[in-house]
Amino acid sequence: MQETKYMAVLCPSKLLNTSEWERLQLAYGQFSAIERVTNSLIAYVGVALPSKTTEQLLVTQIVMAALECFEGTEGTLQKRYTAFVDAIIVQLPDVMRYQVASKKDRGIIRGQRPRFAVYWDCVKTGFALWAKEQRVRAPIIQELTVDESWFEQNRPRFGMMLANHVFERSDLSFVGVPHAGMSQPYSKEQHRAAILEGDT
């Protein structure tokens, strides 16, 4: 069980090196929704969870992997943004690999009732909001043991389950989820019109 100092930093520029931040800003200029989604992603995942595969924070790993998909995909802006959204959804379930708790206070302090650990439920709320509401400064983070085969098999389902914390409904229409009140996702022509009008 690891106790990690929570950094109340939600600006992407503080999480990336100079070249990474410049690349992300360039993507902002090409497709404005990327900035909104990146900020939502950071607020949801938070800046305390480590990556299992790199020395970066988990949120930094997700942002950079999604950015690389946006940069590396050929075709229209719609197709490149779809790759960006897909990359985030695929990686979101990795937050479920951790148990995050507030620091447990032992005994009675100043005549108050003892406070017990409160756990972050990543299905219900984002990390930053939970940490603010619970006044968490040093979350206790424990990596969980999961059945990797089962986890990977269900990863797409978990990703869509968590996606509403990061994306607006219009973003999810790029990956096949219809807008509210519609029976099917936007067509290519509707997406193109939305992009030109600045709706996404």
Residue type, 109: I
Calpha distance 160→149 (Å, rounded): 18
- Whether residue 89 is contained in a domain is answered as yes
- Whether residue 192 is contained in a domain is answered as no
Q: What is the pLDDT of residue 195?
A: 46
User: Residue 63 belongs to what domain range?
Assistant: 2-172
Tokens of 129: 């909001």
Residue 99: phi and psi, rounded to 5, are: -105, 125
Q: What is the pLDDT of residue 2?
A: 47
- Whether residue 179 is contained in a domain is answered as no
- Whether residue 199 is contained in a domain is answered as no
The answer to whether residues 142 and 99 touch, using CB atoms and an 8 Å cutoff, is yes
Task: Let me know if 60 is exposed, middle or buried by CB neighbors in 10 A (0-12, 13-18, 19+).
Answer: buried
Q: What is the pLDDT of residue 1?
A: 45
- Whether residue 124 is contained in a domain is answered as yes
Taking 70 as the pLDDT cut, the residues of the chain under it are: 1-10, 104-116, 177-200
- Total domain count for the chain? 1
pLDDT, tens digit, 9 for 90 and up, residues 56-107: 899 999 999 999 999 999 999 989 999 999 999 999 999 999 999 987 555 5
- Whether residue 185 is contained in a domain is answered as no
The answer to whether residues 43 and 62 touch, using CB atoms and an 8 Å cutoff, is no
Calpha distance 174→187 (Å, rounded): 9
Tokens of 109: 């302090």
- Whether residue 196 is contained in a domain is answered as no
CATH classification at residue 157: 1.10.3210.40
Q: What is the pLDDT of residue 11?
A: 78
- Whether residue 184 is contained in a domain is answered as no
